[in-house]
């Protein structure tokens, strides 16, 4: 298995777990205002940056058609996306994993001037970010109703 195949598998596994979290989130938790960053917003934020950092460069990034200005940034005061909208964006991100991992040059610069490392490290960085927020959402589900997300070890 090549390194890009390994990254594809791990992105797909993490995204599959995120999809489970999105699907299992109770309606009452989706936009619960007691959290500074509501469930839907954390899910969107994780997807947005996964999508962004899969691209060759920031200049080549084309935001999701439903993207709203600053919705990628965490913080209060945003109208929630619906579960269906977030799942629509999830599908785009999952497709981007397969497309971008097929052509990425791991030795190339990150493509983002604020991330001064190569594409290999960018993939690690991106997966860490995705999984940080996935863990946050899983914790909320556990506290809210003892809702478990099944572990996905790999998903080619």
List pLDDT tens digits, range 115-150.
Answer: 999 999 999 999 999 999 999 999 999 999 889 999
- Residue 115 within a domain: yes
User: Is pLDDT of 53 > 90?
Assistant: yes
- Residue 155 within a domain: no
Say how far apart CA 77 and CA 33 lie, in whole Å. Answer: 10
- Residue 152 within a domain: no
- Residue 47 within a domain: yes
User: Is pLDDT of 76 > 90?
Assistant: no
User: Is pLDDT of 156 > 90?
Assistant: no
* CATH number of the domain within which 81 lies: 1.20.120
User: Is pLDDT of 114 > 80?
Assistant: yes
Could you give the 3-state DSSP secondary structure of residue 71?
Answer: coil
- Residue 154 within a domain: no
- Residue 129 within a domain: yes
The model's confidence at residue 58, banded by pLDDT at 50, 70 and 90, is: very high
Query: Are the CB atoms for 60 and 99 separated by under 8 Å?
Result: no
**34/108: higher pLDDT:** 108
Percentage of residues in the chain having pLDDT higher than 70? 100
**Residue that the structure tokens 């994780």 belong to:** 46
Average pLDDT on 53-79 reads 94
At residue 89, the pLDDT reads 98
- Residue 150 within a domain: no
Question: For residue 148, which of 46, 10, 23 has the smallest C-alpha distance?
Answer: 23
Total structural domains within the chain: 1
pTM for the model stands at: 0.96
Containing structural domain, residue 130: 3-145
The model's confidence at residue 94, banded by pLDDT at 50, 70 and 90, is: very high
């Amino acid at each position: 298995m090549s390194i890009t195949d390994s990254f594809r598998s791990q992105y797909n596994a993490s995204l599959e777990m995120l999809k489970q979290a999105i699907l299992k989130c109770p309606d009452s938790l989706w936009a619960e205002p007691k959290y500074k960053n509501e469930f839907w917003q954390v899910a969107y934020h994780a997807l947005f940056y996964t999508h962004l950092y899969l691209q060759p460069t920031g200049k080549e990034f084309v935001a999701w058609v439903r993207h709203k200005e600053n919705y990628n940034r965490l913080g209060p005061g945003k109208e929630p996306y619906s579960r269906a909208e977030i799942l629509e964006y999830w599908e785009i991100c999952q497709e981007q994993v397969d497309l971008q991992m097929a052509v990425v040059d791991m030795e190339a610069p990150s493509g983002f001037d604020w991330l001064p490392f190569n594409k290999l490290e960018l993939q690690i960085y991106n997966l860490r970010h995705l999984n940080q927020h996935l863990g946050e959402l899983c914790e909320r589900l556990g506290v809210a109703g003892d809702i478990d997300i099944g572990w996905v070890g790999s998903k080619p």
